[in-house]
A = this chain, B = another copy of it.
Amino acid sequence: MKPYFEANGIQIYHGDCFEVLHALRGIDAVITDPPYSSGGQFRGDRTMNTVTKYVQTNQQAFRAEFGGDNRDQRSYLAWVSLWMSAALHASNPNAIAALFTDWRQLPTTTDAFQAGGWVWRGIGVWDKTGAARPRLGGIKSQAEYIVWGSSGPLDADANPICIPGVLSAPIVRGTDKEHIAEKPLKVMSWLCELCRPGGLIVDPFVGSGTTLVAAKKSGRRAIGIEIMEANCEIAAKRLQQGFLDLSEVA
């Protein structure tokens, strides 16, 4: 398999994540921001008045909520657990994994994480620090979440760090933004510390490539996988710029 891009320990493969993951070995950390598949198809139904919708017993309410409304969640569960399982097979015994998710998919993501064979060890919070749409009459949806864990026992000796559980960083805006759901470099750099220094980080959903840029800056090797060629190009460009920046500093 030939990488789309390669330089200074960072590779990008253009293709499907399953195909590439099956060919990989020696992963120390899976750090990624997969498409959330969020936003309910049946939101109108879900937000109806449940008291009028379910006049009878709550048994009916239970079936409505857990029956047909969340079919897309079911396939999200299956899909995430499949590639997480593929990643586990390519991982070292003390590997770490960290997946982004939003509030709506958080329970499904923790299920998928464990269904894929990983040990779930906690939740990190990315606080967007107020730059979120206000929600009148309720709590502002101001955070995204990082489901994290390991492929086996935590080997704290290999990487004796402790990163904060709530990371505050404003969302990427305006002309800097290359991708709809782009994460701040600060947040991805923070997650890269979960990987042992010099270790191999894999991101199966490169997008605009922020994980790869962060991995490079923090002195880890990285392999990214991306299915859309346009994104491969953007990520490669950012990596090249990043190297230029680094050489200027040196």
A-side residues, CB < 8 A to B, are 46-52, 54, 58, 61-62, 65-66, 81, 85, 88, 93, 96, 98, 103, 106-107, 110-111, 114-119, 121-125, 127, 129-130, 132, 134-143, 145-146, 148, 150-156, 158-166, 194
Q: For the complex, give the distance between the alpha carbons of A93 and B117 in Å.
A: 42
CA distance A141 to B46 in the complex (A): 32
List the 8 shortest-distance A-B pairs measured between CB atoms, nearest first. A142-B165, A49-B152, A137-B156, A107-B107, A136-B156, A140-B165, A61-B117, A134-B162
CA distance in complex: A81, B118 (Å): 28
Q: Which of B103, B114, B125, B158 contacts A122 (CB 8 A)?
A: B103
| Chain B proximity of A244: nearest CB distance (Å) | 32
CB pair A119–B165 under 8 Å, yes or no, is: no
Please, which residue of chain B has its CB at the minimum distance from the CB of A50? B117
Whole-angstrom CA separation of A230 from B106 in the bound complex = 37
Contact B158 A137 (CB under 8 A): yes
Q: Is the CB of B58 within 8 A of A117?
A: yes
Most B C-beta atoms less than 10 A away, residue of A107, A130, A132, A148: A107
- Chain B residue contacts of A81, Cβ below 8 A: 58, 62
Known: A50-B117, A139-B194; 15 extra A-B contacts, CB below 8 A, are A47-B119, A51-B117, A51-B151, A61-B115, A61-B117, A66-B114, A125-B142, A127-B165, A136-B162, A138-B150, A138-B163, A139-B146, A141-B165, A142-B165, A143-B166
Bound complex: CA A58 to CA B52 (Å):
37
Choose among B137, B154, B161 the residue that contacts A162 (Cβ–Cβ < 8 A).
B137
